[in-house]
Amino acid sequence: MSDRGIFTEKMIGSLDERILECDHGSGLHIQIIPKKGFKRKFAVITTDFGSIDIEYTRNGELRTLPEGTAHFLEHKMYEQPDVDVMSRFAALGADCNAATGFSRTYYYFSCTDNFDECLDLLIKQVAEPYFTKENVEKEKGIIIQEINMYLDDPFYVGEQDLMRLLYKNNPVKNEIAGTEESVRSITPEILYECHDAFYRPSNMCLTVVGDVNASSVHDAVERSGLSHGNSDDIAKILPHEPRETAGKYFTRRMETSLPIFNLGFKADPLPYTGIKRVMRRHAGNIMRELVFGPSSELYKELYENGCINYEFYASYDIERDYSMFSVTGESEKISEILDRVREHINRLLRTGVDSRRFRIMRNAMTGSELRSFDSVSYIGRMFGQYYLQGSDAFDYFTSCGKITEYDVNDVISEVLGGDMAVSVVERSEGSK
């Protein structure tokens, strides 16, 4: 059977790129972005399940998961009764890894040779869980050690303090890995239940990027014997999140060379779905660079006055269940920074961004996004992510140049015009 007989094809002339897509009988969506002549190949299975998905209904019955379940499950999916998955990938000459986020979990590999064998292994790894009381108990110690390591990092702790200031109810305020108490409560039965509910093929997407044969990818999915899944009705539940922040200011002391600050704002993601969310993400990222980036007036002012060093960066996120903007840095002059930031935001709310600088930044970011299409791993994860959000990833790469000055000023008004929360990690006594 030809590739064309299995897949539908979409061309994006402005990028000179195409995507092949099909829905396998199991419910798994398959995407292939051909890269003729590329030596490196990349495959990722993305599942629409992350750390914030701790409450859901199954056929109307409420289920609650311990915090950190999605992350724990990710760790255990590398264990099979007959093979060490990571060692097998390495023996095939492939690099493999996984990542758990707030809304999704990724399992991926990249290789130059033995692609078919690696793809078989990836699908088997994700589709066939193997949990025992012994291997789950062993993993608890590993994950608790990981949690404690993060809790010794003042930058991480400051970020988590900010999340708890921003969010009152949304589980995005919780650590992705959970707490020691929640991790100890996880059992093989919980993991099997979780896998059955959220790792069904219809809740996942397989994305392949590289010089590959599309029919061979389809054949690999066929060989896997993926279950068509059960017909249970699964519905995720998130608590209502008020518009106002849960708190305004929090400080603690830790071992750190300089005090660390985090500024944050939250917004409502619900009005933005599909292409609207894609456009909002671009507008927010342009705003981030215009207002807080290294070429911004505020950055230059803070740097020249000795308020910040190169550990100063901003981030904008808009996902299906949360949206936020944050700024992180280290400084001896945090009070002065807060005053200057508030003054600068108030001025922007009155005047908007500079038109010339906006056009320069939009063009620069458009070029950067188009160049990233040569990274097989970057576009692989992007296409899986956007498919599960109900968007077309091609829109992401082609829409940045369509952002207007109005779009950016609207983000400033909605996001930076809201309440600001501040978390600070001061030096403990004796820190240098």
Least confident range of 350-354, 422-426, 428-432: 428-432
Alpha helices, H only, 250-322: 275-292, 297-304
Q: What is the DSSP letter of 313?
A: E
Among 21, 74, 139, 241, the one annotated catalytic: 74
The tally of CA atoms less than 13 A away on the side-chain side of residue 291 is: 32
Binned at pLDDT 50, 70 and 90, residue 225 comes out as confident
- Asked if 212 contacts 32 with a C-beta cutoff of 8 angstroms, the reply is yes
Q: What is the pTM of this model?
A: 0.93
Task: Provide φ and ψ at 202, rounded to 5°.
Answer: -70, -10
- Asked if 263 contacts 421 with a C-beta cutoff of 8 angstroms, the reply is yes
Q: Counting Cβ atoms within 10 Å, is residue 108 exposed (0-12), middle (13-18) or buried (19+)? A: buried
The DSSP bridge partners found for residue 100 are 105
pLDDT, position 1: 42
Q: What is the DSSP letter of 171?
A: G
- 216: nearest Cα among 116, 121, 129: 116
The DSSP bridge partners found for residue 105 are 47, 100
Least confident range of 21-30, 238-247, 395-404: 395-404
Binned at pLDDT 50, 70 and 90, residue 371 comes out as confident
51-75 pLDDT, tens digit per residue, is: 999 999 999 999 999 999 999 999 9
Single-letter amino acid, residue 82:
D
Can 74 be counted among the known catalytic residues? yes
Domains of the chain: 3-236 (3.30.830.10), 249-427 (3.30.830.10)
Label residues 209-239 b or e (16+ Cβ within 10 Å = b). bbebebeebbbbbeebebeebeeeebebebe
297-339 pLDDT, tens digit per residue, is: 999 999 999 999 988 999 999 998 999 999 999 999 999 999 9
Query: Residue 209: in which H helix or E strand, if any?
Result: strand 204-210
Mean pLDDT of 207-221: 94
Residue 106: pLDDT over 80: yes
Residue 127: pLDDT over 70: yes
List C-alpha distances in Å: 303 to 257, 311, 329, 336, 352.
18, 11, 11, 12, 23
